[in-house]
Amino acid sequence: MWNGKKKALTFSYDDGIAQDIRFTEILNRYGLKATFNLNSGLMSGNGDWTTDKGLAIRRLRRDEVRDVYKGHEIAVHCVTHPHIIDMPEDELRHEIMDDKSALEELFGCSIQGMAYPYGEFSELIMRVAGECGIKFSRTCEDVHDFRHQTDLLAFGATCHHNYEDLERLTDEFLSYDGEEPIYFCLWGHSYEFDIHNNWELIEEFCKKVSGRDDIFYGTNSEVLLG
Ligand SMILES: [Zn+2]
């Protein structure tokens, strides 16, 4: 239960890109809270790229992020967004720990969450993340339901915003009136709204789920760690 409410909604978005400016404006307008998973080593222009369809993706710079993410939660996504599945343990520990420390200093807060870059994780990666003080970490293995998860270092979001049955899941969540507390976690990257030209999808989702007395709107930490 969250503030006496049996339902909670949260968002998990990755990579710290310029489209998060527009995305956070939408979230803020509807009173919704998200967790943004950031790479502290890619905030000086060195992490920008162009998609195969020619869309230039700009990562937010160090001097922009505090304003953009005000009111939301910041979480680890490794320093340089590497493939970590076969990474030597020492290097992995640096990627997690150094990102956590840099973000804690930049944002002046303590950080408990993470999302695995490319969704790559293993027993070893989960152990090292836990040893670095990470309490929950999102995979890319969506669960497509609202069940309470206990293995938070292999946390699966409810679904990606492009999931074909998003509307059905949303309706199920909104109409739920059972006894068990449930949560909905939507994830993605906001540059995908430009790639698929579907900003109206997230606008409509936020409008539909917001302003309800029976739902707690919180960050990943607030929802997962209570
Ligand atoms: Zn990522």
Q: Where are the domains of the chain?
A: 7-219
Residue range 132-189, pLDDT digits in tens:
999 999 999 999 999 889 999 999 999 999 999 999 999 999 999 999 999 999 999 9
In contact, 211 and 31? CB cutoff 8 Å: yes
Name the average pLDDT for the chain. Answer: 97
CA of 220 to the centre of ligand 1 (A): 17
CA of 144 to the centre of ligand 1 (A): 20
Give Cβ neighbours of residue 54 (< 8 Å, ≥ 6 apart).
none
The amino acid sitting at 215 is I
Average pLDDT over residues 96-119: 98
Tell me how far apart the alpha carbons of residues 223 and 179 are, in angstroms, rounded to a whole number.
Answer: 17
Q: For residue 122, how many other CB atoms are within 10 A of its CB?
A: 13
Tokens 């989702």 found at: 205
CA of 36 to the centre of ligand 1 (A): 10
Q: For residue 205, how many other CB atoms are within 10 A of its CB?
A: 20
Average pLDDT over residues 83-103: 98
Q: pLDDT-based confidence at 53, cuts 50/70/90?
A: confident
Residue range 201-219, pLDDT digits in tens:
999 999 999 999 999 999 9
Q: Reply yes or no on whether the pLDDT at 35 is more than 90.
A: yes
List Cα–Cα distances, 48 to 35, 43, 68, 71, 134, in angstroms.
21, 9, 18, 25, 27
Confidence at residue 9, expressed as pLDDT on a 0 to 100 scale = 98
List Cα–Cα distances, 139 to 11, 41, 99, in angstroms.
14, 21, 18
Three-class SS of residue 81?
coil
The amino acid sitting at 134 is I
In contact, 202 and 161? CB cutoff 8 Å: yes
CA of 1 to the centre of ligand 1 (A): 30
List CB-based neighbours of ion ligand 1 within 5 Å: 14-15
**Domain 7-219 -> CATH class:** alpha beta
CA of 15 to the centre of ligand 1 (A): 5
Q: Reply yes or no on whether the pLDDT at 198 is more than 90.
A: yes
Confidence at residue 174, expressed as pLDDT on a 0 to 100 scale = 98
CA of 14 to the centre of ligand 1 (A): 5
